[in-house]
Structure 1
Amino acid sequence: MESKNLTRGTQLIQLGRYKEAIPFLQNAIAEDPDNWTGKYHLAICFFDTGEYSKASKLADGLLHDMPNDPDLFFLKAQIALRQDRDEEAMEFVNEAISLYPYSADYFAFKSGLLLNKKKYEEGLRLVNEGLKIDAKNAYCLNIRAQILTKLDRVEEANETVENILFDNPEDSYSHANVGWVELENGNNKKALEHFKEALQFDPNFEYAREGMSTALKSKNFFYRWYLKYSFWIAKQSSKNQWAFIIGIYLVYRVSIKVLSASDMTYLAIPLMIAYLLFALGGWIMEPLSNTILNFDTYGKYLLAKDEKISGYVFGVLLVLGIAAIATFYFLNMEYALVLGVTFICALLPLPRGFLLKSKKARLMGIIYGSIMILTGLIGPFFIDMYTIGIAVFIMMMAYTWIGNFIERQ
């Protein structure tokens, strides 16, 4: 006779209520320590509630009893991916495929890993193999749409999107994924519609929530162009990315020399700021987008408290920085220039500090940014302004290295 706890736990899993299923499954295992199904379902629940170490430990125990079970290797692959261990994820899914080469989901998962590695052609070949097994597999179709978008095969991507929604009209993941595809193709309105549909089916779906937030931010002209650049640069190989960035830097250096030789040095500072905004865009884009959403009628409701604060801090610093630099140009006040440079440089650590997850990291980021501002405000009264300006600039550049350490705290 099947355990009532196991039956109830299984029902809750089918309803997507993984956290509630855990105690029932634990009770089922307590009743029968050899309950393989109960342990497997419990591992699934731990995985879906983010307790990856517990899920992995259970999966390892089950593999000891059934070393040739492909689903266990697939579960291990999914856990490894969530923990950013892509190479291990690839090894596990390869093992799952070798044991059972008839699961479309396995091929879709491996294609997703290849998509992350920018091996688009190989990923497309594999996902097509998965579709030969199951022509209507939603996982395969969603990955295929993403890969075709990266390959700029827009018509094929759109055709795949139509197939996805025809077969899965009420699937939140499919709508969210189609939303991201539309967003990358520049169809902002369509993207918003799909994210809205996804959130109607699952209001807590983070993938759709993030997409909705990004689509709303892209209403802003500057963010829209930055998003296009982000999608474009993400498609490039690491070699091409570096070539592009170095090329931009060389153009910047030549431009500075030309301006200096032409007695147009007054344009050097705006050019320097524009270059820094481009080069460090990845560090400031999230706080900037939060600033945009703070003033959007609907977008502000997508922001958490810390995201709102980050957006307001970024907006205030940006306005103060621009005002101070304008004051320098109109009134020739060197102190205003130092303040302008300080406020602009503080855009990196201070607003970002409010977004860090751990309390320790958040405090360190906020303190670092505050020290930069105090240095710019008070420093010129004790040391020459040029030295203070250089010091603040060096602190900003140092943060691009120190920040990685802070964010790991």
Structure 2
Amino acid sequence: MIESKNHQRGVQLFELGRYQEAISYLSTAISESIYNYGSKYYLALCFFNTEAYDKASKILDELLQETPNEGNIFFLKGQIAYRLNNAHHAMSLVDKSIELDPYEADFFGFKGALLMDQKKFEQALHFVNEGLQLDPKNTACLNLRARILTKLNRKEEAEETVEHILYDNAEDDYAHANVGWVALENGDTEKALHHFKQALQLNPNMQYAREGMATAIKSKNFLYKWYLKYAFWMSKQSSRNQWIFIIGIYVAYRVGIGILRASDLTFLVIPLVIVYLVFVLGGWIMESLSNTILLADSYGKYLLTNEEKYSGYTFGGLLLGGILGTIAFFVFGNPLFMLWGFTCFCALLPLPGSFLKTSKNVRIFGLFYGIAILCVGFFGIFFTSDIMLNGAIVLGMMVLYTWLFNFIS
């Protein structure tokens, strides 16, 4: 069948990334021939790239009624499911796409990505390698392979894959950004900065590279550098192992406290408590703290998204409020100032970090929970004059948040 001019123009605009304009031409092409598979599929891709997932899904469901054995349709539906945080459904859809078309490398790459998210790195590597057997130069599979090998601590193989990526894709912005992230995880900040810079020169609006550049700049900070090492290490662990590690640290902390008290070394108890709190709470506040630091950097602030800026400003404001409240307490001797300062410190856990959550429900929960802590701390005195009770409630809310957050997320 001869493709219409509207279809051809729509595809051209799609390939240029001008999705909204492409939608108009492709819609017209469909009206000219309602059974035009190509126009419908490209229209679904346009809606997918503009995050209009409901419209994309509706078109794909229509295509499935007309052509139920097309692997591409299940593949795109799987990508939509993944974007909507339904990884289980995405896996079943990509399995169907592989069943229908077992010779498409992108399908195997996508399954590898899903398995990597589940921390099943060996299985992920198996499927990515299968994809590369079908297409040795498949960019998605090569990039995933480098990341998976890094997670498996197979650094030499990861480096070889990285060289392969850049040899074939020297002008590919995503390839440079991905190499940057691999270098960053391997602790090579300078190499990471170089490749993030290359990616941004090729595509100034690439969010993946901007996030990488911001993270690399943050890693120059001593505390953030060690936090980043810890975060990368934890990201390699299964959920079960993560909980075992966290519980193990808590048990070691309690045993340490008991030994110090029994050995008349009680003067070391407070330092141990401080170290434990920094370790436990550092992961909750480090990203927001680093955003605050970047806001003060003449260049770094331009790398932050609006959400990261909100997080940085909120963290800075609460930290300042906590410090001022503590100073006011020692100057004026009024315990109310200490309560207000303590409340600001406790709100540092849920409030600034809420702006950084990708899940809408988790973001809203953190935002309102942080506001609730502030309301209890600042206005609780209108319901009870017991300042110690107010402080205890605020502290309890902060501790409870760490458990509720893990449950919700």
In structure 1, what is the Cα distance between the partners aligned to 2:227 and 2:310?
Answer: 22
Identity of matched residues, %? 56
5 Å-filtered alignment, 1:308-347, equals 308-318=309-319, 321=322, 338=339, 341-347=342-348
In structure 1, what is the Cα distance between the partners aligned to 2:151 and 2:101?
Answer: 29
2:393 aligned with 1:388:
no
Kindly provide the amino acid, as one letter, of the partner of residue 394 in structure 2. V
Contact 1:287 1:351 in 2 (8 A): yes
TM-aligned CA deviation for residue 95 of structure 1? 1.5
Which stretch of the first structure deviates more once superposed, 321-330 or 183-192?
321-330
In structure 1, what is the Cα distance between the partners aligned to 2:325 and 2:275?
Answer: 16
TM-aligned CA deviation for residue 111 of structure 1? 1.0
In structure 1, what is the Cα distance between the partners aligned to 2:63 and 2:401?
Answer: 45
2:349 is matched with 348
TM-aligned CA deviation for residue 330 of structure 1? 12
TM-aligned CA deviation for residue 254 of structure 1? 2.4
In structure 2, what is the Cα distance between the partners aligned to 1:122 and 1:299?
Answer: 38
Kindly provide the amino acid, as one letter, of the partner of residue 298 in structure 1. Y
Q: Judging changes above 3 Å, is the alpha-carbon distance between structure 1 residues 87 and 61 closer, same or farther for their aligned structure 2 residues? A: same
Contact 2:7 2:39 in 1 (8 A): yes
Q: Secondary structure at the match of 2:348?
A: coil
Count matched residues: 405
Deviations 1:45-95 (A, max 9, x none): 111111112111111110111111111111112111111111221111111
* TM-score calculated relative to the size of structure 1: 0.88
TM-aligned CA deviation for residue 364 of structure 1? 2.9
* TM-score calculated relative to the size of structure 2: 0.88
Deviations 1:235-275 (A, max 9, x none): 11222211110111112222333454566666655544543
RMSD of aligned Cα (Å): 3.1
In structure 2, what is the Cα distance between the partners aligned to 1:94 and 1:260?
Answer: 57
2:115 is matched with 114
TM-aligned CA deviation for residue 347 of structure 1? 0.7
Contact 2:377 2:391 in 1 (8 A): no
In structure 2, what is the Cα distance between the partners aligned to 1:404 and 1:20?
Answer: 42
Q: Which runs of no fewer than 5 residues in structure 2 stay unpaired?
A: none
Contact 1:178 1:191 in 2 (8 A): yes
Q: Secondary structure at the match of 1:382?
A: coil
Kindly provide the amino acid, as one letter, of the partner of residue 371 in structure 1. C
Q: Judging changes above 3 Å, is the alpha-carbon distance between structure 1 residues 380 and 34 closer, same or farther for their aligned structure 2 residues? A: closer
TM-aligned CA deviation for residue 41 of structure 1? 0.5
Contact 1:380 1:388 in 2 (8 A): no
Contact 1:180 1:211 in 2 (8 A): yes
1:400 is matched with 402
Kindly provide the amino acid, as one letter, of the partner of residue 93 in structure 2. F
2:13 is matched with 12
In structure 2, what is the Cα distance between the partners aligned to 1:390 and 1:258?
Answer: 27
Which stretch of the first structure deviates more once superposed, 339-348 or 128-137?
339-348
2:388 aligned with 1:371:
no
Kindly provide the amino acid, as one letter, of the partner of residue 61 in structure 2. D
Q: Judging changes above 3 Å, is the alpha-carbon distance between structure 1 residues 200 and 72 closer, same or farther for their aligned structure 2 residues? A: same
In structure 2, what is the Cα distance between the partners aligned to 1:266 and 1:249?
Answer: 20
1:81 is matched with 82
In structure 2, what is the Cα distance between the partners aligned to 1:101 and 1:77?
Answer: 16
1:141 is matched with 142
2:247 is matched with 246
In structure 1, what is the Cα distance between the partners aligned to 2:268 and 2:385?
Answer: 29
TM-aligned CA deviation for residue 179 of structure 1? 0.9
